[in-house]
Amino acid sequence: MINILLDTSLGVIINWIFVRLLEIFARRNKIELLVSGCYYSRDTTNFEDYNISYFIWAVQASIWCVICFLMKVIIYFVMLKWTDKLEDIGKYLLANIALYPKLELIVVMVVVPLIMNCIQVYIFLKIKL
């Protein structure tokens, strides 16, 4: 549960920072290939879906995978550094249902991931990450 909570909160912030830094780098150095969400070359005047450069899309998708990997590594080290505190937080959050193991399992494996992933998707759509 703590992993999901960290991924969908701190992870979103980390991803956003990496994407923005890449965006700043790409615009300063005029590297159109790295401008997030733009899958057309400057030579294109017709912005129909069939004119998308799949090479640009593949490069950006690969960069997104690297960003997500880096975020996971950072979250891993955060979890290693503060294992005891995060464990205490998890116990506190589940204290009311700890006597019901099946309910606890449903909350940890279904309810929390569902809610937090919905919030994460909403945030990604709102900030257009």
Chain mean pLDDT for the chain:
88
Residue 53: per-residue pLDDT: 80
Q: Give pLDDT tens digits for 7-40.
A: 999 999 999 999 999 999 998 998 888 888 777 7
Q: Which residues of the chain have pLDDT under 50?
A: none
Q: What's the CA gap between 16 and 54, in Å, rounded?
A: 23
- pTM for the predicted model, two decimal places: 0.80
